[in-house]
Structure 1
């Protein structure tokens, strides 16, 4: 990747139009109101950011892009569930908390397409960085299983797309969702080209993410889990993140960084027990930008965040950090 100064480039903001069509029912934590709140919060701020952040139209994704991560059987199972939801005009449960509706396949694929578009545009230096409001989220989805509200793993798909279609080889995935990203960890656990770093509440769903989970085979030492207790102070969380990020980037020279940004780490989230305010999310984002090499691309993807208004404020803070605005 070129070392030219990217500060003059805009930050991209992407939401695929199909993402809001994924219907889980308004009683479900991962409902359509999440994206509405984000769009409202960001929309009000775009004028103030004066061209530093621009909305970008997502491109398309191909089946081969999905198959680099997921088994064909998994994709066919999801498509079959969506066909049933369409034929019977109802919601279909994959498990106790993962639901599909008639447009869920379009939403999931569209969100992966948006993340791939953002990664491509940052790599090609059309954007400095980008934020993608993916929905449904992705980091719990394994190669062959949907779970935890997630159908397909957007960050894993974008990682493999970059490795296949550019000279990006080494990818760092940073996950600050309140829940451990078991799917992402599982997909890359034995991979020597991808580092997975997660800071998450523990014990908590899905039950993985212990300190001793460090990778296997070629991936030994390329998984770092930092579990924190519920109620951990924002200052302690910030210090743990900064210290561990510095250690990760000293040991792993990343060509590209993808961030699984969970806004369920925020104060008041109904599914979390942490208490970060927007300014801490601004700090986490800024810390990544300042610690990573200047040649390293950075793209942020939405994962959790189940208090819509608070999530909107958190996304605005992350976008402002990406744009280097307080």
Structure 2
């Protein structure tokens, strides 16, 4: 049974990017970052439709060279070009198979396409179901399962379209070191990360605040292992939301990893899907207050399939203003 906050209102729209090419990024052996994660995310979209959201599909495309060059170093993009079509490893965790680089380029372009759709009108909520994920990819290198930094490519595209303030909120259990690296000295992007710490990749202390003109525009919220829903909600209310309110972004982007869920095999946090609903609700309210309601969510990590499905659905349904009972 679904409860509607506004039973007589028009169904809220959810803009979605997804592409079958993302399934072609598959390790030859067992690996936690696997295509089944995408299937779980697609089931989350089905839950959103069942809760009354109107699903609007957005066409995907490859990222252009200019879009990638705004974020990544030419030498790194050249190195990706050399391994495209082959089997390779960027590090012990990060694999490349023949279609991986194609999938990454499509994912980065899909991220831009989603932002274009969200910016095309007020009050727009969107989600990008992307593989490989992106938030560990730095300007100079891929790592941590990530090849290209999707959310960073999307943020720079938004700035190039005329925006002057974009916020990136990252609640993946691992610190978004790549996004931090890319926007370290850029005050046009507020980067805020909540993450288990100390933990992979070793960055993300509260003392890391950005540099140069970007000093103060990186906000890290390191949390001890075992953090619960209440800890995350307090961190949002006491740290994340006040910073967002002061910054007044014109667009909010979310690096949405679901590996802080209590079921996740790679981390040690204790979140339930209720925490993800709470974060989605709060971010949508902030977007409505400051950013014309424009909110775009990008799939990052999360390695328990049931946790991905339930948590992504909970976050999006809550962000849309609707409420769904537990199944």
For the criterion TM > 0.5, the same-fold answer is yes
Farther-moved stretch of structure 1 (8-17 vs 260-269): 8-17
Q: Give the match for residue 88 of structure 1.
A: none
SS of residue paired to 2:153: helix
State the alpha-carbon separation in 1 of the partners of residues 97 and 12 from structure 2: 38
Structure 2 residue 52 is matched with structure 1 residue 55: no
Deviation at 1:24, TM superposition (A): 1.9
Q: How high is the TM-score relative to the length of structure 2?
A: 0.91
State the alpha-carbon separation in 1 of the partners of residues 188 and 282 from structure 2: 23
Matches within 5 A, 1:37-186: 37-43=40-46, 45-83=47-85, 85=86, 91-125=87-121, 128-165=124-161, 167-186=162-181
The runs of 5 or more residues in structure 2 that have no matched partner are: 1-8
SS of residue paired to 2:84: helix
Q: Give the match for residue 228 of structure 1.
A: 223
Contact kept in structure 2, 1:121 and 1:127, CA below 8 Å:
no
State the alpha-carbon separation in 2 of the partners of residues 129 and 211 from structure 1: 30
- Cα deviations by residue, 1:43-84 (Å, 9 ceiling, x for unpaired): 3x254234533333323421111011111211111121123x
Contact kept in structure 2, 1:173 and 1:194, CA below 8 Å:
yes
Q: Give the match for residue 247 of structure 1.
A: 242
Q: How high is the TM-score relative to the length of structure 1?
A: 0.91
State the alpha-carbon separation in 2 of the partners of residues 321 and 246 from structure 1: 17
State the alpha-carbon separation in 2 of the partners of residues 231 and 7 from structure 1: 40
User: Which runs of 4 or more aligned residues in structure 1 lie more than 3 Å from their structure 2 counterparts after TM superposition?
Assistant: 6-9
State the alpha-carbon separation in 1 of the partners of residues 225 and 309 from structure 2: 22
Alignment RMSD, CA only?
1.8
The runs of 5 or more residues in structure 1 that have no matched partner are: 1-5, 86-90
State the alpha-carbon separation in 2 of the partners of residues 32 and 150 from structure 1: 14
State the alpha-carbon separation in 2 of the partners of residues 291 and 41 from structure 1: 23
Farther-moved stretch of structure 1 (24-33 vs 182-191): 24-33
SS of residue paired to 1:94: strand
State the alpha-carbon separation in 2 of the partners of residues 256 and 126 from structure 1: 11
Q: 1:282 to 1:250 in 2, by over 3 A?
A: same
Q: Give the match for residue 315 of structure 2.
A: 318
Deviation at 1:112, TM superposition (A): 1.1
- Cα deviations by residue, 1:90-130 (Å, 9 ceiling, x for unpaired): x3211110000010011111111111111001101187110
Q: 1:16 to 1:215 in 2, by over 3 A?
A: same
Contact kept in structure 2, 1:22 and 1:136, CA below 8 Å:
yes
Contact kept in structure 1, 2:48 and 2:316, CA below 8 Å:
no
> Among 303, 313, 316, which residue is 1:306 paired with?
303
Q: 1:248 to 1:75 in 2, by over 3 A?
A: same
Q: Give the match for residue 200 of structure 1.
A: 195
